[in-house]
Amino acid sequence: MPKEHWLKSELAQLNQAGLSRSLRSVMTAPTGRTLLDGREVILLGSNNYLGLSVHPVVVEAAATAVQKYGTGASASRLMSGNCHLYTELETKIAEAKGTEAALVFGSGYLANIGTIPVLAGEGDLILSDALNHASIIDGCRLSQATKQIYRHCDVEHLESLLAQSMKLRHRLIVTDGVFSMDGDIAPLPEICGLAERYDATVMVDDAHSFGVLGETGGGTIEHFGLENRGVIQMGTLSKAIGGLGGYVAGSTALIDFLINRARSFIFTTGLPPATLAGASAAIDVIRSNPELRQRLFSNVLLLKNALLERGFQLLPSQTQILPLILGAADVASRFAEVLLSHGVYAPAIRPPTVPEGTSRLRISVIASHTTEDLETAVEGFEAASAATFR
Ligand SMILES: *Cc1c(COP(=O)(O)O)cnc(C)c1O
């Protein structure tokens, strides 16, 4: 097919730059180990932070729902796809978040690209952190609002942009709560203070903190005690919750407005019943088992200290995401390959996911890792380092 010539030459260029991506076959496992392309490896690339995708209570709830209600929703939620399990799940999310209401979307990606254009349109301004997730960036691109990027977590820069923006109608500040590739936490108390001073709305993406941060796993708002500050809390059910789906939690007015306006909510089929029942059960498990979070953070401490003691350069993350900075894309790819040959999988993250020159391994720790898993992983890192930088 001659028309595919240009695809092949672009793929070859990506390959040459060490930037090509490909799929691996990974088997979901109940432990910190998994089968990757048929081989057992220690998995340091999972977002299933609490192991809930295989938790017996969660699996049982999903299995019961599929037996009772079948495999699919059959229609979009505004037609006939609004399975009653949605109400239960949305009530639990709103409770966990301390908001009046919540709305579940098909995924976190869909929640962001649907919500941001509804909150900010022509004549409005969106202020977005430089390291925000791609789904936020795409939501901003779909919006007719003016967009400005502030330097990562730089509240002075944010304030200077807000100060120049008072002629615009609405201001929306949007930020990851925990940054997905850096593992640091957004300075939300300062951001909320600025929002109040400059009459702006704050939206936080809690994809990596729901279930993980805060006294009861509520996320970054609970972590900082910022309930009652009117922050719109968006997140996903695909990470610590262990399933699939996105959500937005906020006021009843906000949720009603989204039901009427968010295109990625309106024009897509509802989630399968099993997914909804599984997520509800997972939220219950999180709230009644604080020891899962304690286990996660003792694992984080163990691996982080072991790597730092051996001189590895980690970004100063405060969470379960530990970025090991390696620089050039091909160095990161090579390091990851050697690490994998030692039975440890952590994905190399390269541009455009992260800025040029900051390619890294994104190491994520989960509660299901055993001490032995983590000790074996550290040996793998030493071997990969010796082989890559020899
Ligand atoms: C994973 C992620 C999303 C997307 O969520 P999905 O449910 O996987 O579509 C959105 N924002 C951030 C920060 C994420 O890490």
Cα of 264 vs centre of ligand 1, distance in Å, is 15
The pLDDT value recorded for residue 310 is 95
- 210: Cβ below 6 Å to ligand 1? no
Residue range 8-34: average pLDDT? 82
Q: What digits encode the pLDDT tens for the residues 172-214?
A: 999 999 999 999 999 999 999 999 999 999 999 999 999 999 9
Task: Report residue 159: phi and psi, to 5°.
Answer: -65, -40
Q: How far apart are CA 43 and CA 28, in angstroms?
A: 10
Please indicate whether residue 223 is annotated as part of the active site. Answer: no
Contact 116, 138 (CB under 8 A): no
Q: What percent of the chain has pLDDT over 90?
A: 89
Query: Binning pLDDT at 50, 70 and 90, where does residue 22 land?
Result: confident
Q: What digits encode the pLDDT tens for the residues 282-311?
A: 999 999 999 999 999 999 999 999 999 999
Which helix (H) or strand (E) element contains residue 322? strand 321-327
Cα of 170 vs centre of ligand 1, distance in Å, is 25
Return the residue whose CA atom lies nearest to atom 6 of ligand 1.
Answer: 108
Return the residue whose CA atom lies nearest to atom 1 of ligand 1.
Answer: 207
Per DSSP bridges, beta strands 348-349 and 359-364 are antiparallel
Q: Could you tell me which residues come within 8 angstroms of residue 240 by beta carbon, excluding any fewer than 6 positions away?
A: 47, 48, 49, 50, 52, 208, 210, 211, 212, 217, 286
Query: Binning pLDDT at 50, 70 and 90, where does residue 34 land?
Result: confident
Select which of 180, 238, 264, 359 is catalytic. 180
Please indicate whether residue 84 is annotated as part of the active site. Answer: no
More confident residue, 30 or 327: 327
Contact 84, 110 (CB under 8 A): no
Q: What digits encode the pLDDT tens for the residues 310-339?
A: 999 999 999 999 999 999 999 999 999 999
Return the residue whose CA atom lies nearest to atom 14 of ligand 1.
Answer: 207
Atom of ligand 1 nearest to the CA of 238: 7
- 205: Cβ below 6 Å to ligand 1? yes
Among 1-10, 124-133, 291-300, where is mean pLDDT lowest? 1-10
**Residue showing tokens 């306006």:** 261
3-state secondary structure of 132: coil
- 108: Cβ below 6 Å to ligand 1? yes
The pLDDT value recorded for residue 353 is 87
Select which of 239, 304, 342, 369 is catalytic. 239
**DSSP label of 145:** S
Contact 208, 180 (CB under 8 A): yes
Atom of ligand 1 nearest to the CA of 135: 10
Q: Alpha-carbon Rg of the chain, whole angstroms?
A: 21
